Amino acid sequence: MPSAARLRAIDHILARTTVETPPVKDLDALWASDVFSLETMKSALPKGVFKSIQRSIKEGTKLDTSVADVVAQAMKDWATGRGALYYAHVFYPLTNLTAEKHDGFISPQGDGTAITEFTGKLLVQGEPDGSSFPNGGIRSTFEARGYTAWDVTSPAYLMETPNGVTFCIPTVFVSWTGEALDKKTPLLRSNAAMNKQAQRLLRLLGETEIAPVNSSCGAEQEYFLVDSAFTALRPDLQLAGRTLLGAPPAKGQQFDDHYFGAIPERVQVFMQDVERQLYKLGIPAKTRHNEVAPGQFEIAPYFEAANVATDHQQLTMTVLKGTAKKHGFTCLLHEKPFAGVNGSGKHVNWSIGNATQGNLLDPGHTPHKNLQFLLFCGAVIRGVHSFGPLMRAAIATASNDHRLGANEAPPAIISVYLGSQLEDVFAQIKAGNLQGSAEAALMSLGVDTLPDLNKDPGDRNRTSPFAFTGNRFEFRAVGSGQSVAGPLVVLNTILADSIQWIADQLDDQLAHGSSLEEAAFSVLKRTMDDHGAVVFGGDGYSAAWHHIAVEERGLENLPTCADALPVLQRQVIRDLFERQGVLSPLELESRFEVYAEQYILAIEVEAKLVLRMARTQVYPAVIESLNNLACSLKNQEALGITPDRSLLDPVVSLNHQLLASCTALEQVLASPPHGVVEHMRYCADTLLPHMTGIREAIDALELLVDEAIWPLPTYQEMLFMR
Ligand code: ADP
Ligand code: MG
């Protein structure tokens, strides 16, 4: 029988009824109904104004500010007609979160009356007092001006909360001197850099009509749902988003019976509610299923332009968390909420393409003949090999460190998986002898009534951090709680840089009289000679790969943030971002400072929390247990039974261990080193192992102490009850 508090939580959960949620019936009517979309604009704006806006969105031309007043008026009419009293400039600070500043549409007239008002000036530029957002020293608080500016390429929308309806305008967030303080600005810049170089390469390949090239993203989001009655009893889930303590349940995920199993009813209703809201926001949620671990689920949208997909991904996280609350769940986006249980990632599917040439990473049926594909794919390979450590840095958070390399998620070594067909094609290129590519085959299932299946020319590889999956790359090492902006910025930027290199080489060789084909294959061969070491099709989890990658291929293994974040301070990385016009050295340095500080803060908060839980929750329960056991020994003696100390002794010794580990952690916590890099190292090498020491004692005690006094909901309860 669980402790009184846990019992109350369990009773509460058993008495829960599902929250009324109408199923989505008329998708057409619902779809994007809360979005100030192109269609809405078309009917609400004069033709000339609409055309101007459309050009900015589709062709990336500079926004004509003279149309802003007209658009603002139309936006206000539409939004207030839908019940919005407030509008918000929404921006994405360096915290992975979404920030918004709300302002009323209302404007007092000085004679006691008020009208609603929204001007072009208010639409285009805002000035939130964002001084308390981390900015890594770019902006000292005494000159705290920061501006938000309308991103016309990401649609504005209505957000309904219990607080009412707010009209939300996606914006960039910059300092008064123009430095990017957010994640959107560099994303837009990286896309522009990639577009510029991709257009250049396409022109070299003989294309004359070339539409703007855009990066695309489809982000698969994994998450856990835990009943909120349990979360209320777990300070660690509330403050750190993960359990700092907890013994593994007798039954874990070994049976694989949760993966793709039937979705529990309460969760189904929750998902339906989430999807309904996402559809209204024009977010193309497409697949949903159970994940590997009990209590773990996934939602994936159809891919969109990277900038829009990124805003939509942030919204998806917001909707998941808010809707979970409504349904009595806590949605955990942490990468490793439960030790020993599969963690959560966010697979970032990424490609580039345009309206005239299509998906530039689509190999077609005969990749060996597809020069365009080979060059763009070669550029990706070169980019990942040259800047793998930067990709690792872009996914470095305290929480993702727990997942990477933990035998369930890709290792912290960045390599590329191409699939057997392409691996073979690129090996032939390297050997200077390109013959052809393996054909896609039909796969007979051996039963006449079943159709033959098309067999993909390359298999999947779940152990690779960065895998080619048919017509895109999938960056699988991204953390579930992270903004996808950072990883996309890095991918676009390293690709831009590699395409630039390739185009330079082609230019040079063409000028020396080579044919396009000769030049292309010579550049591709050189690319594979210099960078082929990053291509790996084997088991990324294996110890052998860790050895080969580092010792033989010279790839870097950066297991923790303390190893990975300093990459941002390398001169080659500064040069890369500056060369491509994505981040100035100052902007890059500020990102290093902010991310390092977040890492340190996250671990120090956890360390303090684990101490507090150990002493104020676990220790009292252990003492009570010791009292009971001692009492029972006395009674046994009184009854003349030989006293059995087999339970008491280990509890006594683990209790000593617990207290000693607490004292040790407290001591190291009191004297952090100077210097950011040293401070990160101390978190990784000193604090975390001490926290693990405490955890080991407590998790062992959990298996010995009477269940009736254990204060914390157990893994079994949190993972299996809903
Ligand atoms: P899996 O779980 O097998 O990886 P999913 O269907 O869950 O596959 O997710 C694949 C994701 O890749 C989807 O979001 C899909 O829209 C996205 N995707 C497909 N094509 C592209 C592309 N060209 N660019 C970016 N993302 C893409
Ligand atoms: Mg996937």
Instruction: Indicate the class that CATH gives domain 31-182.
Output: alpha beta
Return d(Cα 110, Cα 106) in angstroms, integer: 12
Q: Which atom of ligand 1 is nearest to the CA of 287?
A: 7
Kindly report the CA angle at 452 between 447 and 454, in degrees rounded to 5?
150
Based on C-alpha coordinates, what's the Rg of the chain?
28
Q: Which of 213, 214, 220 to mutate to test the pocket of ligand 1 (most atoms within 8 A of CB)?
A: 220
Amino acid identity of residue 36, one-letter, is: F
Which runs of E-coded beta strand occur in 401-529? 441-443, 453-455, 466-468, 473-475
Helix residue ranges, H only, 156-209: 184-204
Q: What is the pLDDT of residue 100?
A: 87
Q: What is the pLDDT of residue 544?
A: 93
Q: What letter does residue 308 receive in the DSSP assignment?
A: H
Q: Indicate if the pLDDT at residue 348 is higher than 90.
A: yes
State how beta strands 164-175 and 84-91 pair. parallel
Label residue 185 by pLDDT band (50, 70, 90). very high
Return d(Cα 669, Cα 600) in angstroms, integer: 12
Q: Whose CA is closest to 559, among 675, 687, 361, 409?
A: 409
Choose the weakest-confidence range: 284-298, 680-694, 700-714.
284-298
- How much is the average pLDDT of 3-11? 90
Ligand nearest to the CA of 350: 1
Q: What is the pLDDT of residue 521?
A: 94
Q: Indicate if the pLDDT at residue 559 is higher than 60.
A: yes
Label residue 706 by pLDDT band (50, 70, 90). very high
Which among 119-133, 257-271, 293-307, 437-451 has the top mean pLDDT? 293-307
- Sign of the Cα torsion 55, 61, 67, 70 reads positive
Ligand 1 atom 7: the closest Cα is on which residue?
A: 300
Q: What is the pLDDT of residue 443?
A: 46
Domain boundaries, the chain: 31-182, 191-598
Q: What letter does residue 433 receive in the DSSP assignment?
A: -
Label residue 442 by pLDDT band (50, 70, 90). very low
Label residue 252 by pLDDT band (50, 70, 90). low
191-598: same fold as 31-182? no
How far apart are the CA of 284 and the centre of ligand 1, in A? 12
- Secondary structure class of 287 (helix, strand, coil): strand
191-598: CATH, from 3.30.590.10, 3.40.50.300, 3.40.190.170, 1.10.3300.10: 3.30.590.10
State how beta strands 285-290 and 99-104 pair. unpaired
pTM > 0.85: yes or no:
yes
Q: Which atom of ligand 1 is nearest to the CA of 469?
A: 4
Residue 706 CB burial class (10 angstroms; 0-12, 13-18, ≥19)? middle
How far apart are the CA of 368 and the centre of ligand 2, in A? 26
- Any idea which residue has 């390469």 for tokens? 201
Return d(Cα 91, Cα 310) in angstroms, integer: 12
Q: What is the pLDDT of residue 452?
A: 55
Q: Which atom of ligand 1 is nearest to the CA of 353?
A: 23
Label residue 25 by pLDDT band (50, 70, 90). confident
For residue 413, what are the β-bridge partners? Answer: 557
Label residue 26 by pLDDT band (50, 70, 90). confident
Kindly report the CA angle at 638 between 637 and 644, in degrees rounded to 5?
25
Q: Indicate if the pLDDT at residue 330 is higher than 90.
A: yes
- How much is the average pLDDT of 447-456? 54
Q: Are 388 and 414 in contact (CB under 8 A)?
A: yes
Q: What is the pLDDT of residue 63?
A: 80
Q: What is the pLDDT of residue 257?
A: 58
Inter-residue long-range contacts of 59-65, CB under 8 Å, 24+ positions, other chains counted: 59/212, 60/153, 60/192, 60/195, 60/212, 63/124, 63/150, 63/152, 65/120, 65/124
For residue 329, what are the β-bridge partners? Answer: 227
Q: Whose CA is closest to 156, among 78, 260, 69, 272?
A: 78
Q: What is the pLDDT of residue 354?
A: 96
Kindly report the CA angle at 493 between 95 and 58, in degrees rounded to 5?
90
How far apart are the CA of 339 and the centre of ligand 2, in A? 23
Tokens representing 707 are 């269940």
Please tell me the chain's helix, strand, coil percentages from 3-state DSSP, rounded to the nearest 5.
50, 15, 35
Amino acid identity of residue 265, one-letter, is: E
> Residues with Cβ < 8 Å from 482, sequence gap 6 or more?
96, 346, 395, 397, 400
Q: From the CB of 350, is ligand 1 less than 6 Å away?
A: yes
Return d(Cα 536, Cα 464) in angstroms, integer: 8
The rounded mean pLDDT for the chain is: 91
DSSP letters of 617-643?
Answer: IIHHHHHHHHHHHHHHHHHHHHTTPPP
> Residues with Cβ < 8 Å from 215, sequence gap 6 or more?
190, 191, 194, 305, 306, 350, 351, 352, 488, 491, 492
Q: What letter does residue 83 receive in the DSSP assignment?
A: T
Q: From the CB of 302, is ligand 1 less than 6 Å away?
A: yes
Ligand nearest to the CA of 287: 1
- How much is the average pLDDT of 19-34? 88
Q: What is the pLDDT of residue 141?
A: 47
pLDDT per position as a tens digit, 110-145? 888 888 889 999 998 888 766 667 777 776 544 567
Q: What is the pLDDT of residue 142?
A: 47
Q: Whose CA is closest to 394, among 573, 527, 546, 572?
A: 573
Q: Indicate if the pLDDT at residue 453 is higher than 80.
A: no
Choose the weakest-confidence range: 52-56, 305-309, 329-333.
52-56
Q: What is the pLDDT of residue 293?
A: 83
Return d(Cα 130, Cα 601) in angstroms, integer: 20
Q: From the CB of 303, is ligand 1 less than 6 Å away?
A: yes
The residue that leads in pLDDT, 632 or 3, is 632
For residue 296, what are the β-bridge partners? Answer: 224
pLDDT per position as a tens digit, 157-170? 999 887 789 999 99
pLDDT per position as a tens digit, 511-531? 999 999 999 999 999 999 999
Ligand nearest to the CA of 349: 1
Q: What is the pLDDT of residue 4?
A: 86
Q: From the CB of 635, is ligand 1 less than 6 Å away?
A: no
